[in-house]
Structure 1
């Protein structure tokens, strides 16, 4: 980690922090309903009388203020209504993910991030002051739009501003920020899941969105997008130089964009060019304004610009990018269908019968471990390889799912707790951060926006399936077979399936300069 941070400037760190506020809010809204579920739905007045007494002095005035503006203490919901409120977030996420790729390719990363901040802000306001299931669904849908777009745009932006040799390390920042958001909201939920104090949990999203909106005012447009899509090499080089530092050598990065080096000509070069032009113009026939424009360069931005807008359907039809779409869709389904969100979204209700006095606290511990392992393991994709970490993560989660199913079924409390913690830790070493890295490494710049939309679209479809179907299937299996925990046998089976998929369909991208090098062996074989 020390070597990865060696050449990092303070300015780059600031950009990373502001940009990753988008994924952080994804994690925040993903877990915001977990701890206060029973309180929000009117099943209980508080999930912990002890905790409620601890914060009663602090929240007494706030509760009185809420009553004055007629905010209800809870919103009556059935299990199916709450499942719909939870799952609609992923529907918004799917739409945001599918539309963000083409939009950010055409209009840039900065404007797209501003729009996500607006979605987060509007959604958080609606959620905080909602008084019915329908208004809560609307708020969750709006925050889902922001979340879906953020998880497409921010990994792209990070990959384009991070130093090339540390892209794997910085690529993990997307998942790290998601985990920070989850930890933040789970901690709030532990203390504020009583009476109508849960509204302060949702209201925190307003502050986060406002902070992102203001912070983006100092964030520049991606230099790579400025060069390839706008054709402004000079501005792109200037921005990249500021990000890398005054004395950093950026020539190799700039050359990778094509279209020249982006340097302004020196005074001597301008005078020489002017003198040559004057001497040649003395005997030349006057030319039209169009004729004096620079001749097109087949290797420059004209070519890049044509590629930069490769569409959503085009990347599937193109035989060079289709294998990448299959790979990223597969690993995004694997990320969700191995079961992580059954823990993130439902751990309190899942474990409350087994661990009735500590399930909310265990959820906070889960979030801490998720964050700590993601940070600690962030250099590993650059050291051991992306594919290796994916396989370690999938096999580990499958084993943990099997242990968790057996421990819940036979009510072995300590094994249940250990299995949950291992399940989350093994997700964090691979399936958490690596898919966000690989989606931008498996294709060239011409299709990266559309590929990210495919990747995150798949992720949100899979997340919706888990968010909506997990409580239904879990309850149905428990009633049909007796006991609990049967659903984790299904997740163990999925892990086996996805391990085979990754082994045969996902190439290693570590150490490869570009997508052509990643797929060169496969294409030669074909």
Structure 2
């Protein structure tokens, strides 16, 4: 790194071979795990606006909605029972992601993805047939287990099978499928809302569909060469898996040699991986990013905005159908921005997208029709404060409600360009193989834990802080953009087995890396020929 600056300069090296149909299909199947998480994010907020659902399980919320017409529109959905329904998934997901970190070392990433899909399918069937709140919560817990296992395994799987030069694009596929799941859920809610008595059962039950897609995909793909060698499988098995991914004419021995060397390191050092990663200095840079990035992702506020989008749009004056349409529009904008990220992340790099996305979330260039997210959040807060007021007693005119939708779409676009996909890419690629499962488990646990806290607090915050809720999220966007600019090294095009050198050359993180790391690495030479 020249001059000790913020960026690191490495050649975008890989091991040759073409972009094969096999690697594209394999990554497509693995990335489809994002469908189940995205569908749940989109479906729950819409279901909680359906009167038949509220009448069956949360009648107190219906009563509060009626009173809000004369009282406070900010508080109409502030219900502890309703919050418990939405947030229970994330507690289960947190526990499952930590368990998956250990299980992956024994059974591999493919098996963990299959288990996640099966648990999500079971949770969907329980929710669709729920007769009381207890069954709803049980279904949510099973869904959470499925999400936790899937979110732990799929991004790492994508990072391990993707060629280095296209790793960012393929791993972005996971966030893309999250976006597809959100849009599919919002469209489902829009149609199901017309089935007055049992539409909510259809919405919740159709969560089984993305689970089936993911289970089928996971059955058709092999485990990663890294996972196979890490679990002591024959080298020929790993070579066959790698050649299938890279093409039959590719010389895979150089890449396989590096993978085998890393796997041997992992077997020697995997005992106590969690403890060493948390307590030791060697993995401090990766651990800091694995915690900070998912934490900051949630503090953008986008997850709760997506989760509660129909609730939010009803709060600002949309009708029930209009709120669901607004959520669909928001999801489509997010999906389009993720596609832009996928095509640029391996050209521009991770840091640039973080900073550009953050700037888009800070600067509001209204005259150039380039409204952006922190500016957007402040503008949303201003509009809601001016037109609903601090007391929430005034109805917002339709024109201002539409302005909130436009501004939130601009906010969602900034997120889809940066913090959405990159929050899955970075943690999945920065850890050495001996702690990769543990590191991803911690990252997913932080993500789901923060989502749990956000879903627990958002409706209460909206009720108590009114429009100032959005200025709270705006301040965090500015802070996290500065953090990334200062402390995140560039990782585009760097092979996973060479990722340690990124941290050794960084102006700040180099102090945490032991001086003899490179010497130790050079001593290990596994002959796989």
Q: Report TM bin, short chain.
A: 0.7 to 0.9
| 2:70 aligned residue | none
1:40 shift after superposition? 5.7
- Superposition RMSD on alpha carbons, in Å? 2.2
| Matching of residue 97 in structure 1 with residue 97 in structure 2 | yes
Q: Does 1:507 align with 2:489?
A: yes
Give the structure 1 partner of residue 427 of structure 2: 439
Structure 1-normalised TM-score? 0.81
1:460 aligns with 2:448: yes
Among candidates 303, 318, 322, match of residue 356 of structure 1: 318
Measured against aligned partners, the alpha-carbon deviations of 1:385-426 in whole angstroms (never above 9, x if no partner) come to 212222332341322211221122223334312210011100
Among candidates 335, 354, 371, match of residue 390 of structure 1 = 354
Give CA deviations for 1:95-122 in whole Å, capped at 9, x if unaligned. Answer: 1211112211232112111211221111
Aligned partner of 1:23 among 27, 34, 41: 34
What residue in structure 2 maps to residue 205 of structure 1?
207
Structure 1 residue 169 corresponds to structure 2 residue 169: yes
Mapping of residues 105-504 of structure 1, within 5 Å:
105-193=105-193, 194-258=196-260, 302-308=264-270, 311-357=273-319, 358-395=322-359, 396=361, 397-411=373-387, 412-478=400-466, 485-504=467-486
Q: CA deviation at 1:38?
A: 2.6
Structure 1 pair 464/250, CA: closer, same or farther in 2 (3 Å)? Answer: same
Alignment match, 2:49: 38
Structure 1 position 339, deviation (Å): 0.3
- Distance in 1, matches of 2:426 and 2:207, equals 29
Q: 1:361 to 1:241 in 2, by over 3 A?
A: same
Residue 125 and residue 524 in structure 1: after superposition, are their counterparts in 2 closer, same or farther (change >3 A)?
closer
- Asked whether the 8 Å contact 1:168–1:379 carries over to 2, the reply is no
| Alpha carbons of structure 1 residues 502 and 215: separation in structure 2 relative to 1, 3 Å | closer
- Change in 2 beyond 3 A, CA 1:322/1:115: same
Superposed CA offset, 1:58-97 (max 9, x none) = xxxxxxxxxxxxxxx6664642111100000111111121
Partner of 2:504: 520
Q: Where does the alignment leave 5 or more consecutive residues of structure 1 unmatched?
A: 45-72, 260-299, 479-484
CA displacement 1:176-218 (0-9 Å, x = unmatched): 1111111111110011023212211111122332333333322
Q: Structure 2: which 5+ runs fail to align?
A: 1-13, 62-78, 362-372, 388-399, 513-529
| C-alpha contact (below 8 Å) 1:168/1:378 kept by paired residues | yes
Distance 2:86 2:462 in 1: 16
Whether contact under 8 Å (2:175, 2:338) holds in the other structure is: yes
d(CA) in 2 for partners of 1:310, 1:400: 45
Instruction: Give me the whole-angstrom Cα distance separating, in 2, the residues matched to 1:415 and 1:402.
Output: 13
Q: Which has the larger radius of gyration?
A: 1
Shift of 1:34: 1.5
Deviation (angstroms), 1:23: 1.9
Distance 1:487 1:517, change over 3 A: same
After TM superposition, give the deviation of residue 222 of structure 1 in Å.
1.2
Q: Is the 8 A contact 2:167 2:493 kept in 1?
A: no
Determine if contact 2:128/2:204 at 8 Å carries over to the other structure.
yes
Give the whole-Å Cα distance in 1 for the aligned partners of 2:186 and 2:445: 26
Between the aligned partners of 1:377 and 1:462, the Cα distance in structure 2 is 24
| Secondary structure at 2:432 match in 1 | coil
Indicate conservation of the 8 Å contact 2:165/2:492, yes or no. no
Q: In structure 1, how many angstroms separate the alpha carbons of the residues matched to 2:54 and 2:157?
A: 43
Q: Residue 42 of structure 1: CA displacement?
A: 4.7
Distance 1:392 1:457 in 2: 27
Q: For 2:377 and 2:133, locate their aligned partners in 1 and report how far apart those are by CA, in whole Å.
A: 33
Aligned residues: 448
The Cα shift of 1:43 comes to 4.8
Cα distance change, pair 117–413 in 1 and its aligned pair in 2 (3 A): closer
C-alpha contact 1:473 1:487 (8 A) present in aligned 2: yes
* Distance in 2 separating the partners of 1:355 and 1:444: 50
Partner of 2:23: 12
